[in-house]
Amino acid sequence: MKSLISFCGCVLISLTNNAQQTITGTSQIGYTVQYAAATAATASMVPINTTGANVTWNCSALQNAGQIFTLSINSPSAQSFFNDYPSSNYNLTASASSNTLVNDFFISNTDSLVLLGGRVVGQPYEVYFNPQLVLKFPFSFGNSTIDNYSKTSYASNGNPTSSQTGSITLSYEGYGTLILPSATYSNVAMLKRIRTNSIGPTTTSYSFLKIPSGERLLEYDNNGSVKVNYANSIVTSLVENYSLNDYVIYPTIAETSFFIKSDITIDSVKMLNTSGQLIPLNINIAVDGLLSASFATNPGLYIIEISSNALKNHVYKKVLIK
């Protein structure tokens, strides 16, 4: 069993006419944030019974149990066990001290995020044949939806152990201000998720997300015992979270190549389409220190991932290919 709550998605930059109340999407590939696991004594203090409009959830008393982990949204094709979930276009990992704790695969649609399953080395895993609903969007205060799922569970050696069915009831319970030990966030939504299972207990979980973009701030799960994971650093959108000004990429509307200019050493460059698939790049360093990247791909919007060991982060830029 996973020792962490199975995170189910986190961020997408989007607009809505009802931005004060409506969740409009889920995380972009490339998003990374630090999380902490709360102590059992403080986890129960999360005020999940506080619902309604313009409320305050004071979780400032949460204490770190000592486990800090990194949550990342990735291209699924580059992850271990992708072959078990070949239709996935979205992957979420949680890792600590180079150990992968969660490795979940999803399909990100225009109106929902659904779970296909997850697998890490040496652990039992599952494959959903009718995917499990995680998020629905747009999703506004007072909305509720029910969806069914079916899956097969496997032992770590790949032998099937059981087949299960069940339902997910997702409801938007409240919005307001969330106070965490690291920061205070306004415009936060609380979603409630009730999960039934044909051979197991009914479980209840809560997700606290930024409005409208959907960044996960806190996850509360009650599966016999309460577990809480919460953002241990200030959570921003993908564009805000990194040092974009340290790099200049041009042209931003390209045909077969682009250039990157930076005073900071660039250790790697990747190009991904909006489904998270890697596009092969031919990288060269020009005489004047510019990095050039050439490629052959279809027209559309692409994400450029720039990695720097000096900054210990990734920077993400967008390029439109015509």
Please provide residue 40's backbone torsions phi and psi, each rounded to the nearest 5 degrees. -60, -35
pLDDT digits (tens, 9 = 90+) for 79-129: 999 999 999 999 999 998 778 999 999 999 889 999 999 999 999 999 999
Q: Which three-class secondary structure state does DSSP give residue 13?
A: coil
- Residue 214 is predicted with a pLDDT of 84
Closest CA relative to residue 202, chosen from 170, 224, 220, 218: 224
- Residue 2 is predicted with a pLDDT of 41
- Residue 125 is predicted with a pLDDT of 97
Q: Which three-class secondary structure state does DSSP give residue 318?
A: strand
Question: Averaged in consecutive runs of 10 residues, what is the pLDDT profile of the chain (322 residues)?
Answer: 43 35 83 88 95 94 89 90 95 88 94 96 96 95 97 96 98 95 88 96 95 88 92 57 61 88 79 79 74 89 76 68 88
Closest CA relative to residue 72, chosen from 134, 119, 126, 27: 27
What is the domain partition of the chain in residue ranges? Answer: 32-231, 244-321
What does the alpha-carbon distance between residue 151 and residue 195 come to, in Å, rounded to a whole number? Answer: 13
User: Residue 34 is encoded by which pair of tokens?
Assistant: 């630090």
What does the alpha-carbon distance between residue 207 and residue 83 come to, in Å, rounded to a whole number? Answer: 29
What does the alpha-carbon distance between residue 127 and residue 130 come to, in Å, rounded to a whole number? Answer: 9
The CATH architecture assigned to 244-321 reads: Sandwich (2.60)
Side-chain-facing half-sphere of 10: CA atoms under 13 Å: 30
Which CATH fold topology does 32-231 show? YmcC-like fold (2.40.360)
The three-point CA angle 45-47-49 to 5° equals: 135
- Residue 265 is predicted with a pLDDT of 74
- Residue 234 is predicted with a pLDDT of 57
